Chain A
């Protein structure tokens, strides 16, 4: 748990009930930053890599319009190294951080496992994180559909709470809840669509 807390920068939610999902949550925030550690860990699962190699792979699969700075990779890898989730597998002659070859530790594998299995808190712009999770699951031959199902369940859990609150609340409550519900529904629709296209996605991301 401690590792997870470090990584997420917050406490694990499960099985504690969620805090209320309100429009307040809809503020831009970089979800991406929070998952870089897990993403790099996941990429390492397929075999030891150099830091530069990791950056290239990340950019290729998830970076698209926002490539990682090498500095981000360096600092993240140092944190992972410190927490014992990766180890240095070898150093190329010439020195410098970019010459280190990293490998994932057993603790690291467990952490990725846990991260993938834990549904994300339903919130805006979640797709990026979910997308990464799904792709990583596909890359590491884990159950990607299960991730989506778990996430749907999480969303529905939230929707139930909102639906219940809506039924008991006044008109203002109803309108606010409806707004949130429609957004959650949009997420769910994305989940359904992704689930329906898992096979295609797998073919696209796995070499």
Chain B
């Protein structure tokens, strides 16, 4: 066998792939689009690690809140930086205030020069927002002059809203917490393993779950037009090519589709990359430049996809004998055996088993075992489904004519049906498992709020140098604010520095204090020692009348605090704690403003609790604006009844959308094969109509034909998905709880795809069974 003959046969196949007029082109295009979509998804997936790495590199490079980095930078060349994040319309905005203390103060990445007081540099996304109508209220909050743009180096994504603002009065306020003095940007000691093991697991599973159906889809795509190809090959046999030549020609055809698919995939990938830049999922956007697959992975895709296409074609030809006068399908394929099919999912479980409960022990998952186990479990679905469809369909009994037509058809060729449904089953199984995992893990992040939301829904924190009383008035006059309670809060201890006993001090007027404790009586100048506070073991040690305590004590390792001495009055009273505005029972000392020395004021931060009328438009944004006006260093929080980790919520949405897209993709291939089958049976269908079969009966039989295997597939998928989900939850040591919502939504989408496929194949069906179909060509 000469190489020339080989290439000749392959080239003939390539020619065949595009020959045959419009129909040939359409088929080749369909295959290419199918393979292309798959390739694009593969490339995107292989770019994911790179994109994530680039993201975290950018994040690390601009890191300024480095914990444990207490060493004070060299005086004069330091930078005082304050973190002032804010929210706008549910979007988090990264904000920093900068005050350089010398010519060599470090510039943040992406910033050309320091903004002076009254100036700021902003990210392009924030600039767009500030200049839009939507951003009008935000502009009031950030009124500084925009003097520059933050470059891509300083942003983790193109759509990240961020600003750096200049200031001249930060130096005295350094507290080692939100306001600190740094000598450089970037974490000098980055964590060696930035990956949360649970997150690793999630990413691995997501990739496997989304890619397995893509592989199934590619396998289906290269088989588009298979029947016609078989007939063509039979014609080749007639003119004298041998069995191996026809196989090579078939391989050439598959190769052509796959290669064109690679080109399509590259184009789709490049387009998708640009689109991804505009896309924002979970407040995360990615620079197109960061979406770059590793060359080795690209090479793997380029080699593996055509190879897989050829392999699938040759496997499909295995059961087919192409004779010169036509195609003979192996008359009765051997009965499908169960045992080796069961081995796959069981093997998968066996791989996952040793890692159960690793999540608890902070253990790192063996990535190969996890990937292998998940893949085996999912591939097990594709192996079990044909057996299951065959076994169930063989036992399906009586029913109407449409049912009988469908069941008999499935009995004769259950493999085809199972193959097309495989993709759906894998996607749904994976998605159910992930939904379950997310829901379970989310439980750790989501709990109903302990806060008492009837009295206050927002909280503003002011730095200590801002007097509370005037601020209260400003909040009171903000539209939409119903009631306001203000406190000055801080720590108190038995020594100025490193106290042995310490507790909290809350200062407020009598009305405010009554919100946190049941006061026997109250007037300005009173002090109360609270009893019955949660976790409060310290107050009894300190609450002795006449004793001198220190407000705002210092602790070793952080800047020196105010350390204002304060003598507890002799007429100090006791008051039992009650749930405060946020539902906590606080302990420590309560004091009215008149009982404290004036010097203590700056050592306490202001806490304003607000009850708002949510029906007033933009009330939250107005409150934030007021807070910013009171002090640019203030922070605002909004309480809601359920605290939910938004990270996971949007991740779940993303997964759902991804899985739905994969299902639609598979629905497309289901539709193509359905139409192909209808066209083949056109004369038969027309003759059925001739002897009076209702079109409804034919339509129903098409529906059953798709619905029976899909239902079985979804049942199997639900079972596998729940098993996999349970195992994954076990791995992360999370209590197993079935997420019925996830199960229902995913199976619902699967069922919807079947319905859509049936509906879309009805018009061609009705067109085909017109009497013209009876005319013999």
A and B touch in the complex (CB under 8 A): no
Q: Which residues of B contact A (CB under 8 A)?
A: none
Q: Which residues of A contact B (CB under 8 A)?
A: none
